[in-house]
Amino acid sequence: MVTEVQYGGRITDDLDRELFITYGQQWLTEAIFQPNYIFNTTFTEYHYSIPDSNEHTKFMESIASMPVKDSPIIFGLHPNADLTYRLNESLAMLSTLVDTQPKEASGGSGKSREDEVREKIEKELLPQLPADFIEAEIEDRLKGLRGPKGLSETGKGIPLNVFLFQELQRFQIILTIVRKTLVNMVLAIEGSIIMTPDLVEAIDSVYDFRVPRPWCYDPTGAEIAWLMPSLGGWMKGLLDRHFQLNNWISKERPQSFWLTGFFNPQGFLTSMKQEVTRQKKAQQWSLDEVEYTTEVLKDIIQGDDGRIEGKQL
């Protein structure tokens, strides 16, 4: 009855109901009435148990002794989950404080917020945006992009080339959103188009040196791009990702890759496995038999004079 219908309110989501059924099967058993029974076995700093008493005061004392904040471990989460939660909570609070600041013109400069944002967009942000990737041109370049030794295919017949094509498509979507948002902000400030609430929010974000929400999330709230606390860091990420993808498609496959600079790093690793499997086709290697290995070779140090030095670890 508790897990199927009600737990502090009606359960309407099927996944929520499945979760509570799992909790019910684990905790609503005869075992919890045994002496000295504890609910948590992995978290030893505090033992959650049912007081062995019928007195109301004993239950209140037990509740009062519970930790103010529960450890993520008792929910089956990594301890770093608490760090992530606290970081997100702090960022949300700071963002709210910034949003509630007065929106008047800045003192001393004589320019309104909108004028400063337009100047920043026209002189800094728009000029540094890279050129768009044209899909027809990408298709042509992929045809001549070869893979490693042992693979006779070219173009989209090579797994990593397919991965590159997908990454370029996703990057172009983000680049289009960024360019369109910046252009529309300028037009809205000039009065050429209607100033919508989304554009007002984007203007406030740029003025406060934050990343406009449409650049990182789609209308459903799903994450579509990398997350950075500041606009400068986010734009640097955009340029660095463009540099890696553009060098790959315009020149040749690089010797090393910035793995976290991809939208789908797992897809990159899977494509690597597929290529190795095809290279070893004569030995009848299967995809499941290929495993990743990591070997640290050098510690790279750049001196004050700009020279790169390395030492074997």
CATH number at residue 241: 1.20.1270.280
Query: Does residue 192 belong to any structural domain of this protein?
Result: yes
Query: Does residue 81 belong to any structural domain of this protein?
Result: no
The pLDDT, as a whole number, for residue 304 is 58
Task: Return the C-alpha torsion angle 61, 62, 65, 67, nearest 10.
Answer: -140
Burial 216-251 (b: 16+ CB within 10 A, else e): beeeeeeeebbebeebeebbebbeebbebbeebbee
49 in the same domain as 130: no
The pLDDT, as a whole number, for residue 308 is 47
122 in the same domain as 250: yes
Is the Cβ–Cβ distance between 180 and 198 less than 8 Å?
no
Query: Does residue 79 belong to any structural domain of this protein?
Result: no
Query: Does residue 150 belong to any structural domain of this protein?
Result: yes
34 in the same domain as 181: no
Query: Does residue 46 belong to any structural domain of this protein?
Result: yes
Query: Does residue 90 belong to any structural domain of this protein?
Result: no
Cα-based distances in Å from 228 to 185, 210, 263: 21, 9, 15
179 in the same domain as 282: yes
CA–CA distance, 267 with 165 (Å, rounded to integer):
12
Segments forming the whole domain that contains residue 20: 14-71
117 in the same domain as 67: no
Query: Does residue 9 belong to any structural domain of this protein?
Result: no
Give this prediction's pTM: 0.68
pLDDT tens for each residue of the chain, 313 residues long? 677 766 566 777 888 888 888 888 888 888 888 888 888 777 778 888 888 888 899 889 989 988 888 888 887 788 888 888 888 888 888 878 877 776 665 555 567 888 999 999 999 999 999 999 999 999 989 888 776 665 666 677 788 989 999 999 999 999 999 999 999 999 999 999 999 999 999 999 999 899 999 999 999 989 999 988 899 999 999 999 999 999 999 988 888 899 999 999 999 999 988 888 887 777 777 877 888 888 877 766 555 555 545 444 4
The pLDDT, as a whole number, for residue 171 is 97
The pLDDT, as a whole number, for residue 279 is 78
128 in the same domain as 59: no
Looking at the 3D structure of the chain, how many domains does it have? 2
The pLDDT, as a whole number, for residue 147 is 67
140 in the same domain as 225: yes
155 in the same domain as 286: yes
245 in the same domain as 122: yes
164 in the same domain as 39: no
Query: Does residue 44 belong to any structural domain of this protein?
Result: yes
297 in the same domain as 166: yes
248 in the same domain as 128: yes
